[in-house]
Structure 1
Amino acid sequence: MIKELFGGLLVAFGLYSALPLPQIEWKDNTMRYALSFLPLIGILVGGCEYGWLLLAGKLALSSLLYAAGAVLIPVVITGGIHLDGFVDTCDALCSYGDKEKRLEILKDPHVGAFAILWIGVLLMVQLGMFAQVYETPASAKLLCLGYAGARALGGGMIVTQPCAKNSGLAHIFADSADKKTVSHVMLVWELVLAVLTVVLAKGIGVLAIAAYAGFYCFHIRMCRRNFGGITGDLCGMCITVCETLMLLCVVIGGIILR
């Protein structure tokens, strides 16, 4: 059991982070519980974000320099894997094709014009919001938990929702996972993070939880309607948008409490 858990930890960090860790072969026993460790990567990202905010304040950096570093932290730690899902999903949705066409676009390794447009919009919005967080950091502690919460929802999708196709990373992980155990673990993650979020951020924490829950329900319906289920890219889209919603809540909290 310990060996399986450690193997799952290495698989999760090996795929969903860019950290230089030992590579491990993907087998049923190493992938059975791998998704359970996905929120730990979010805790690492959130901790680095909050640490960077404190360091930038100590060094009296400009808000623009802080914001640029804050936008880059998740990309450096994760290798941009969830952003890849975001841009692929934007390309597919903006194609206005049928279900099969959208799934083909998700699989296509090329980047389309809509992907470039929407990743530019996303990063610009995040840059502006991080700059505002630097000026009004009253709710910034939410950064420590928001990235983990986004990954708890994204990972939970894989073991609780039907896959849109019988290939791809989502299908591989869903097929190899102990779905019952992993779904229970993800639920525990979500409940614990929700409680801590309310303790840390009070009313703004409740707003963040509501935003996550509302978008998650909307996203699941969108996936079923437009794709027939979920894929790895669609999970990446969910994680990326939830992170941005969390950042928006931090901005709102900072403005209200300044």
Structure 2
Amino acid sequence: MSDRSRPILAAFQFLSRIPIKAELDFSPELLRRSVKYYPLVGSVIGLAVWAGATLSSWALPTLPAAVITLILWVWITGGLHLDGWMDSADALLSYRSREKMLEIMKDSRVGAMGVLACVLLLMLKVSLISSLLELGTLPSGAALLTAPVWSRWFMGWAMRSWPMARNGEGLAVRFHGVSSKDTILSALLALTLSATGIFLASSTDWSGVTWMPLVLYFALHPLVIFGVGTLVARVMNARLGGLTGDTYGALNEGLEVVLLLLAVLIFR
């Protein structure tokens, strides 16, 4: 196994259930080096989810097809980021002190607010997937192939841009020190992969392509991810005194939904 491939394999092993047979030590250095490849993992997840959505929508009405698509999406990620979403909801919606919120996030149990937040997120996500499938292969492909790319890119940006809430503790500390160079390279990779994804989605039906919404979506979705993600991360940082591994996962889940919603608004 080459030294160059180890960060790529680490990114896939950490962020997905895609079978990668490699013995890795997951040292802080390796984890930091893997962050720039997060958009690549997102693109593979998006491709698998879009393929599942396309196949299921051929055989089923849009709503059950959307549910099957979401089940595939959760399975291929192992529910990793949903766990962060629930823990973050339990903490941030408790309106407790900073110390108490961080304590809540360390608790392996899920509270009422976490369950409610998860249910509402999945309901919104399945409704958006269903709407995109009704709109056709181009809107659904453009959204499903790009949302996982940019949401994972923003996790890397958040690791670089905001301090850790727990000094020397938790998962976030293992990613501390992601370089500016890696975040820039990750952004360029995300742009390339999202452009490729949108081209792939449009190639399914050139005759039905409406270029204005497509160009608008391509231009807006990185800006929307950056703007919304920055706003939410700043709120989390103000409440917690930094970010944690759970908040990275929560940002990923929330931003995926934001891009699905943007696609519905643009392509409808």
Structure 2 segments unaligned to the other structure (5+ residues): 203-213
Give the Cα separation in 1 of the matches to 2:15 and 2:91. Answer: 22
Name the structure 2 match of 1:167.
Answer: 169
2:36 corresponds to 1:36 = yes
TM-score between both structures, scaled by the size of structure 1: 0.88
Structure 1 segments unaligned to the other structure (5+ residues): none
Q: 2:221 aligns with which of 205, 208, 213?
A: 208
Contact 1:140 1:254 in 2 (8 A): no
Contact 2:89 2:114 in 1 (8 A): yes
Q: Report the 3-state secondary structure (helix = DSSP H, G, I; strand = E; otherwise coil) of the residue aligned with 1:101.
A: helix
* Count, aligned residues: 251
2:252 corresponds to 1:239 = yes
Name the structure 1 match of 2:51.
Answer: 51
Give the Cα separation in 2 of the matches to 1:28 and 1:105. Answer: 25
Q: Which moved more, 1:112-121 or 1:124-133?
A: 124-133
Contact 1:4 1:33 in 2 (8 A): no
Name the structure 2 match of 1:184.
Answer: 184
Q: 1:229 aligns with which of 222, 242, 249?
A: 242
Give the Cα separation in 1 of the matches to 2:262 and 2:44. Answer: 20
TM-score between both structures, scaled by the size of structure 2: 0.85
2:153 corresponds to 1:140 = no
The structural deviation recorded for 1:26 is 2.0
Deviations 1:185-235 (A, max 9, x none): 223234445766887721233343343122112122112210111111111
Give the Cα separation in 2 of the matches to 1:222 and 1:212. Answer: 15
Contact 1:153 1:190 in 2 (8 A): no
Q: Counterpart of 1:36 in structure 2: which amino acid?
A: K
Deviations 1:23-82 (A, max 9, x none): 4112355334111121122101211222123223433x1112211111112211110111
Contact 1:139 1:254 in 2 (8 A): yes
Name the structure 2 match of 1:73.
Answer: 72
Q: Counterpart of 1:147 in structure 2: which amino acid?
A: P
Give the Cα separation in 2 of the matches to 1:244 and 1:125. Answer: 8
Name the structure 1 match of 2:211.
Answer: none
Give the Cα separation in 1 of the matches to 2:141 and 2:63. Answer: 20
Identical aligned residues as a percent: 27
Name the structure 1 match of 2:129.
Answer: 130
Deviations 1:155-191 (A, max 9, x none): 221123211112111111225x5x2432232232344
Q: Report the 3-state secondary structure (helix = DSSP H, G, I; strand = E; otherwise coil) of the residue aligned with 2:4.
A: helix
The structural deviation recorded for 1:92 is 0.6
The structural deviation recorded for 1:83 is 0.8
Deviations 1:133-160 (A, max 9, x none): 1211242232212211110111221123
